[in-house]
Amino acid sequence: MLKYFYSMQKPVLVIKLGSAVISNNDGAINVSLIKKLVAEVVMLSQEYNIVMVSSGAVGSGKAFIKNYKGTLIERKAAAAVGNPILIRLYDRYFSKHGISVAQALCERHHFSNRLQFVQLKETFAEFWKHAIIPVVNENDLVSNVELKFSDNDELATLIAVGFDAETLIICTSVGGFMNDKKQIIPLVENIDTSIMGFVRSEKSSLGLGGMLSKLTFTRLATSLGIKVIMCGLNGANPLLNAINGRAGTTFIAKKSNLKARQKWLASGSITIGSIEVDKGAAKALNNRKSLLTVGIKKVNGQFADGEVVQLMNDEEEIIGVAKTKISSTDITKNLNQKNVIAAHADDIVIF
């Protein structure tokens, strides 16, 4: 049995496991795969402080919902039933290695509220201190549909960014990122239009996310200094092989000098609102200037002052996030005013 040792000096590794990866065709969890995966995570825990973001709760619980049709309320009920089933399975196999697990059900406000986010980080540090590996999922039971994470790719990315992770592993059923000939591309340095051109919009019947979602959040993570690896779980030691560049696709991290608070801003980007800026404002934001209302073309959604929203360019691409100085109503009222600040430079993160 490997002896777990704690150190805050160890880099953080976030591992995202989708429903399609850890489930059989009928939606039931692949127990033999979980057993293999746990053994490998235990080995990796010698070098990393690990966060596991695991789907599978709905698939584990839907058999208990009669005449299940997949409505929002049925998914909430299935997740509530399936979460304890899933965590017991992880606990069964991690305990054989002398490691305990903790279930962490997250909601958006855990990221958007600075105080709650700091407490979340401190709690995870306490987990690692006591050889406990957190297994994270969304709190589907109470999450409001407008404030839900788009999928666990987003949740894993927000954790990786907010926790200043070194590496984010996204496990996929196809084994990596493929080109148009269905060949896995081993290394991607830039997620440009040629890479985006390989994306197909399909998604699995079990999960919510597809490759477009994975690539979108991969671009966010790499732009903020996090290496992202997409890999499958087939064969022996799939995670170790992927980390060592022998399997899957590695997306190179960009250099990032963002401070902890700026990374929190990026990880806390609530998607209930967005601001579309013109080319002049986009250029100014890249030069670390504040966002003035005169440079805003359109406001989407309603938000109060102090909320974190996405920034979009005139091609509707996400270019960053900002903590607003004034509400969406006041921004709209002052679109033609030259000296009204919508968001201060210190509260803006450009990707």
DSSP 230-282: EE---SSSHHHHHHTTSSSEEEPPPP----HHHHHHHHT--TT-EEEE-HHHH
Query: What is residue 308's predicted lDDT score, i.e. its pLDDT?
Result: 79
Residue type, 186: P
Contacts of 19 (CB under 8 A, 6+ apart): 27, 55, 56, 58, 59, 204, 206, 207
pLDDT averaged over the chain? 84
Q: d(Cα 321, Cα 77) in Å, to the nearest integer?
A: 33
Query: What is residue 248's predicted lDDT score, i.e. its pLDDT?
Result: 94
pLDDT > 80? residue 271: no
CB atoms within 10 A of CB 283: 12
Instruction: Give the global pTM.
Output: 0.79
34 φ/ψ angles, rounded to the nearest 5 degrees: -60, -40
Query: What is residue 2's predicted lDDT score, i.e. its pLDDT?
Result: 62
pLDDT digits (tens, 9 = 90+) for 93-132: 999 999 999 999 887 777 777 788 889 899 999 999 999 9
Q: d(Cα 148, Cα 157) in Å, to the nearest integer?
A: 14
User: In sequence order, what are the beta bridge partners of 102?
Assistant: 134
pLDDT digits (tens, 9 = 90+) for 38-85: 999 999 999 999 999 998 888 888 889 999 988 888 888 888 898 898
CB 82 within 8 A of CB 103: no
Query: What is residue 283's predicted lDDT score, i.e. its pLDDT?
Result: 93
pLDDT > 50? residue 250: yes
pLDDT digits (tens, 9 = 90+) for 17-34: 988 888 887 778 899 999
| Better-scored residue on pLDDT, 258 or 215 | 215
pLDDT digits (tens, 9 = 90+) for 298-323: 998 888 888 778 888 887 777 888 88
Report the Cα 26 to chain-centroid distance in Å: 26
Which among 90, 3, 98, 6 is positioned nearest to 48, based on CA atoms?
Answer: 6
pLDDT > 60? residue 238: yes
Residue type, 93: Y
Residue type, 119: Q
Structure tokens at 149: 């994470």
Structure tokens at 264: 């929190």
Angle between helices 152-162 and 211-223 (to 10 degrees): 10
- Lowest average pLDDT, out of 141-145, 183-187, 237-241, 264-268, goes to 141-145
Which among 311, 309, 323, 270 is positioned nearest to 107, based on CA atoms?
Answer: 270
Mean pLDDT across 149-168: 84
pLDDT > 60? residue 190: yes
CB 230 within 8 A of CB 248: yes
Q: d(Cα 134, Cα 120) in Å, to the nearest integer?
A: 11
DSSP 154-198: HHHHHHHHHTT-SEEEEE-TTSS-B-TTS-B-SEES---HHHHTT
